[in-house]
Structure 1
Amino acid sequence: MTALSPEEQALVDPIDRAPILGHTLEWAAVNSGTANLAGLADMAGRLADAFAALPGEVRLVDPAPIEKVDREGTLRPVGHGRHLVVSVRPHAPRRVLLTGHMDTVYAADHPFQTCDWPDADTLHGPGTADMKGGLALMLAGLLAYEQSQPALGYDVMINSDEETGSLSSAALIASLAQGKLAALTYEPALPDGAMARARPGSGNYAAVVRGRSAHAGRNPEDGRNALLAAADLGLRLAAGRRAGLSVNPARIEGGAPNNTVPDLAILHFNLRPATPELAETAQAMVTEAIAAVSAAHEVTIHLHGHVSRPPKPITPGTKALFGLARKAADDLGQPMHWKDTGGVCDGNNIAACGIPVLDTMGALGGAIHSPDEFLLASSLDARARLTALVMHRLERQNLSA
């Protein structure tokens, strides 16, 4: 370590890997797939108990009601777990937001449920990097920061639905972001320590296509084939791909028996615009394609969804926050760089509130969202030290400096 003051050295020295790893292993053993409400309740309780060690109010917030299009083309309520919020020094004049998520992509019946060690530094397991390890090191960094007689206030928000777009926690995130000087989000960094820079936006959609059924042999001309219309819509949308705009028609549901013209199909698709201007372009493209397909196939199409993750550009405030974090990382002997990424996270939502955010403060790891997911155990205590030092310096420095 270099360039640390005696006060800073005393701040980070006590941080030990063992309790951070203990929490990571305990929490990774709990299946908390976004749809596993029992597992999420278990996870929320464990997190509430652990984060109660901080000198603040711990509360579990009910999710906002969310509906999703089912296989019949009908909107149905979707259950979500409660979100954890910890408020420390809520009346402090300078406050920070720290966020993470307790849910994973692994369902309760997914075969990937246990951890193992391919080597002494690699922990292979579900949610280890994304982001049970990040939650554990965030807590350790904050506990270390609390030993320094701090004045900086902060909120911790750990939601239960990040992996499916944070629809039931978006309003909570926006509310907590208000008035914050900066935000730190604990998505995993890459194995070499690379951090995410700019991110595109993301929107998930379901287009419910309703046609008219008819006998496939006797009078097919009387039918209006919803499946063909959905396929046509998917092709038109895919043709709208361009630099800075990804369009992914992902799934068609519906159809009918082979002897019937299908009167229902549901096209699910994802849009990822790199800029707010491209988000508007994408919306116009979708509207135009729906109108054209509706007319060509004589069907009705109802669209559900929106760009729920706004594009995350890099602002002067974000650059200043990264500069502070990079200097802290360099001083800790953890060289840091950043680069643009195609992924999205709650950092997108926070940036849309005008708050500088660094959203890959978590453990180093890789192969997330797959049975090969892993984290590097040596990054747990290293990144906890980074959290403590960044909080310490945010208290004492202006981001514009």
Structure 2
Amino acid sequence: MSRLTSEERDLLAPVERAPILERTLEWAAINSGTANLDGLAAMAEKLADAFTALPGKVRLIDPVPVEKVDREGHMRPVVHGRHLVLSVRPQANRRVILTGHMDTVYAKEHPFQTCDWLDEDTLHGPGTADMKGGLSLMLAGLAAYEQSGPSLGYDVLINSDEETGSLSSAPLIAELARGKIAALTYEPALPDGSMARARPGSGNYAAVIHGKSAHAGRNPEDGRNAIVAAGDLALKLAAGRREGLSVNPARIEGGAPNNTVPDLAILHFNLRPRTPELAEVARALIDDAIAAVAAAHDVSIHLTGGVSRPPKPISAETEALYGLVSQAAADLGQAMRWKDTGGVCDGNNIAACGVPVLDTMGALGGAIHSPDEFLLASSLDARARLTALVMHRLDRQGTAL
């Protein structure tokens, strides 16, 4: 830490691991799967209480309405939990946004519900890395920063639906990102300290295919088989995969009894374009495939969905933010590497607003979205110090990033 100023050393000295870990364990004990509204409400209450330790106003914001295709091909509403927003010094000329999510991928019926220690530093538990540890260390870092006579303003957004695409919080993300000089998002980094650089976009779609039913033995020629059409559409979409564009037909629903030509099928698929240009290519691919299949099978196809996570390229402003964070990490003696990733997160949405974002500021960990998820406890206080130092240096450096 030889490159730290005496002011910075004083800023970081109060950060301790124990309270950050204690909060992480308390929050990980609450199941807050995206569909568990009771669990999300309990989690939101805990977060609201905890973040009142910071100056500013805590609000719980209602989600915007979201619809999804059901198994019968009809649009139905999908309910979500409320989103937490803390606004600190909203009148400041220079402001930052920090984001995280309270939801996890583990439903309340999932068997993975408790934490245990694999060794003295490795905490195995649901949502520990992704991202209740990240939320806890974010709070600790901001609390330390607030002791430095700060002038930087910031908003904290913790949404309830990140794991399913942030559809009910996307307008709120865009609203709060507007005009910010930088963004920090608390997705986990890898155990070796690797951080995400560029990310592809992501689009989730459902193609609802209506054919015509008929008797499978007496007059199958009078039917229009929606399942066959769905399979053909899946193959055409998969054939469009190319460098920088992945295509994943994921599930076909619908069908009929064995003696009936099925008149309904729903194809669910995901696209991940690396660049905005490839997002346009992907849309043309979908349109062409749907037109060809509809004509070949004499069926109607209604498409729902879209690219909800725009591609996240690296701008000059983002490189400058990476440089600032890399220097802060080096001054703290923390390993930091950068690599492109195939995953997506709210950092994609923020980058689409023209704001430079670093979206792996959370705890070090791994095996996320699986029953083997873990975090490294030693990263909790280390990353809290990194948050405090980055905020302090953003504050002190003046107008340029």
Please tell me the TM-score bracket, short chain as reference. Answer: over 0.9
- Partners of 1:44 and 1:71 lie apart in 2 by 31
The one-letter code sitting in structure 2 at the alignment partner of 1:116 is D
Aligned match of 1:34: 34
Q: Residue 156 of structure 2: SS of its match in structure 1? A: strand
Q: CA deviation at 1:2?
A: 2.3
Equivalent positions of 1:2-401 (< 5 A) are: 2-397=2-397, 400=400
- Partners of 2:79 and 2:260 lie apart in 1 by 35
- Partners of 1:186 and 1:207 lie apart in 2 by 33
Residues 115-164 of structure 1, C-alpha deviations (whole Å, 9 max, x = no match): 00010000000000000000000000000000111000000000000000
- Partners of 1:308 and 1:177 lie apart in 2 by 16
Q: CA deviation at 1:197?
A: 0.2
Structure 1 pair 257–274 and aligned structure 2 pair: CA distance change class (3 A): same
- Partners of 2:237 and 2:132 lie apart in 1 by 37
Q: Is the CA contact (8 Å cut-off) linking 1:320 and 1:399 kept in structure 2?
A: no
Q: Is the CA contact (8 Å cut-off) linking 2:211 and 2:225 kept in structure 1?
A: yes
Q: Is the CA contact (8 Å cut-off) linking 1:324 and 1:399 kept in structure 2?
A: no
- Partners of 1:337 and 1:104 lie apart in 2 by 26
The one-letter code sitting in structure 2 at the alignment partner of 1:369 is H
Q: Is the CA contact (8 Å cut-off) linking 1:196 and 1:359 kept in structure 2?
A: yes
- Partners of 2:236 and 2:396 lie apart in 1 by 53
The one-letter code sitting in structure 1 at the alignment partner of 2:224 is R
- Partners of 1:399 and 1:238 lie apart in 2 by 47
The one-letter code sitting in structure 2 at the alignment partner of 1:262 is P
Q: Is the CA contact (8 Å cut-off) linking 2:192 and 2:335 kept in structure 1?
A: no
The one-letter code sitting in structure 2 at the alignment partner of 1:390 is V
Q: Residue 96 of structure 1: SS of its match in structure 2? A: strand
Q: Is the CA contact (8 Å cut-off) linking 2:328 and 2:389 kept in structure 1?
A: yes
Residues 255-280 of structure 1, C-alpha deviations (whole Å, 9 max, x = no match): 00000000000000000000000000
Q: Is the CA contact (8 Å cut-off) linking 1:321 and 1:399 kept in structure 2?
A: no
Q: Is the CA contact (8 Å cut-off) linking 2:248 and 2:271 kept in structure 1?
A: yes
The answer for unaligned runs of 5 or more in structure 1 is none
Q: Residue 361 of structure 1: SS of its match in structure 2? A: coil
The one-letter code sitting in structure 1 at the alignment partner of 2:99 is T
- Partners of 1:5 and 1:395 lie apart in 2 by 15
Q: CA deviation at 1:336?
A: 1.1
Q: Is the CA contact (8 Å cut-off) linking 2:32 and 2:39 kept in structure 1?
A: yes
- Partners of 1:208 and 1:46 lie apart in 2 by 41
Residues 204-251 of structure 1, C-alpha deviations (whole Å, 9 max, x = no match): 000000000000000000000000000100000000000000000000
Q: CA deviation at 1:335?
A: 2.3
Q: CA deviation at 1:400?
A: 4.6
Q: Is the CA contact (8 Å cut-off) linking 2:216 and 2:260 kept in structure 1?
A: yes
Q: Residue 119 of structure 1: SS of its match in structure 2? A: coil
- Partners of 2:246 and 2:98 lie apart in 1 by 29
Q: CA deviation at 1:396?
A: 1.3
- Partners of 2:395 and 2:146 lie apart in 1 by 12
- Partners of 2:297 and 2:400 lie apart in 1 by 56
TM-score scaled to structure 2, two decimals?
0.99
Residues 148-192 of structure 1, C-alpha deviations (whole Å, 9 max, x = no match): 110000000000000000000000000000110000000000000
- Partners of 1:58 and 1:169 lie apart in 2 by 16
- Partners of 2:254 and 2:72 lie apart in 1 by 7
Q: Is the CA contact (8 Å cut-off) linking 1:224 and 1:263 kept in structure 2?
A: yes
- Partners of 2:58 and 2:64 lie apart in 1 by 19
- Partners of 1:74 and 1:37 lie apart in 2 by 23
Q: Is the CA contact (8 Å cut-off) linking 1:317 and 1:399 kept in structure 2?
A: no
What's the RMSD between the two structures over aligned residues? 0.7
Q: Residue 55 of structure 2: SS of its match in structure 1? A: coil
- Partners of 2:49 and 2:103 lie apart in 1 by 17
- Partners of 1:215 and 1:282 lie apart in 2 by 37
Runs of 4 or more off by more than 3 Å in structure 1? 398-401
Question: Percent identical across equivalent pairs?
Answer: 80
Q: CA deviation at 1:42?
A: 0.5
Q: Is the CA contact (8 Å cut-off) linking 1:320 and 1:400 kept in structure 2?
A: no
Q: CA deviation at 1:29?
A: 0.4
The one-letter code sitting in structure 2 at the alignment partner of 1:301 is I
- Partners of 1:210 and 1:325 lie apart in 2 by 52
Q: Residue 187 of structure 2: SS of its match in structure 1? A: coil
Q: Residue 195 of structure 1: SS of its match in structure 2? A: strand
Q: Residue 118 of structure 2: SS of its match in structure 1? A: strand
